[in-house]
Homo-oligomer: A and B are copies of this chain.
Amino acid sequence: MARSPQKSSTPASGNAVTADLVAVLVAVTDGTPDIMTIAGGSALPSGPFEFTHRSLQTALRAWVEAQTGHPLGYVEQLYTFADRGRSGDARSPHSVSISYLGLTREDEVGEGFEAHWSGWYDYFPWEDHRAGAPGFIAKSIAPKLKAWAKAAPSPALQRERWQRCAITFGLDDRDWNEELVLQRYELLWEASLIPEANHSRGREASVVPGKPMTADHRRILATGIARLRAKIKYRPVVFELMPAEFTLLQLQRSVEALAGRLVHKQNFRRLIEQQELVEETGAMAADTVGRPAKLFRFRHAVLAERAVAGTKLPLSRT
């Protein structure tokens, strides 16, 4: 880097790169969180950034709308990668990849596109704790992690590795922290339990369940899931994923789908209502089992009232 602030655009050939966008587009249907994928579910939608657009967000929105025929509700930048070793070949034109998180409603997606939806727990089965911790964590993942920890060169490093495993996966009676999606993925990668890791070549038997993805797309997805799980706790972004009218249980199911854990029903309702996030439509839910529920809609006014202030969901760490 040079010190001059203004003349940063010295068009030296060594600095020319291409800019790529990668999108984590999320929707929720019937309690299943989905992401948009291409290439048979093996990659996230991505491609070169067109500088005909005014900004990155504009480019992303335009592209998604062309794909789905519907505007993107919420967009947020995730991370920018420029690692040299990323593109595979060594000294080819370098590429900067800018990843985004976008929220939309699945039911509005048009037909006839290559893109389609995949459940995000297909890629991260260990992240779904709605029915308790998945059995294979204790049965399969934990022992493999233990073996990896034991393989460390010194006893101190062995303890350190295992402590990391225990913290991120909630082992040894620790609490499960649903926000550590990326840390868990990176840990599994380091332990060579992820097919994408080069150093797990030829050892396909010893990998963990979960569908792999092209390049580092699954890592980007992990980043997106982690960001979203954190975000729903203090911003009213869940509503971007809901239909115009919904019951409180449907809302709760969506939150639980994203968080990968269950919440206390009464407390959930108390929180939603006391924050005045929703208002009754007057109508009741039809075609339902059990007592019919009131229908609610999101009070869009809260976006102006509270601006960036706060929304709370009963997902706090204990």
Contact B304 A164 (CB under 8 A): yes
Contact A307 B167 (CB under 8 A): yes
Contact A48 B16 (CB under 8 A): no
Q: State the interface size on chain A (CB cutoff 8 A).
A: 76
11 contacts between A and B (CB under 8 A): A1-B21, A3-B47, A5-B39, A10-B48, A15-B49, A17-B18, A19-B82, A56-B80, A56-B83, A180-B307, A309-B317
**Residues in chain B near residue A15, CB distance under 8 A:** 18-19, 48-51
**Residues in chain B near residue A87, CB distance under 8 A:** 9
Q: Does A224 contact B (CB under 8 A)?
A: no
Q: Does A12 contact B (CB under 8 A)?
A: yes
**Residues in chain B near residue A6, CB distance under 8 A:** 43, 214-215
Which one of A92-100, A194-202, A255-263, A272-280 is at the B interface?
A: A92-100
Taking CB as reference atom, which chain B residue is nearest A10?
Answer: B48
CB-contacts of A54-101 with B (<8 A): 54-56, 59-60, 63, 77, 79-85, 87, 92-98
CB-contacts of A206-221 with B (<8 A): 214-215, 217
Contact B98 A80 (CB under 8 A): yes
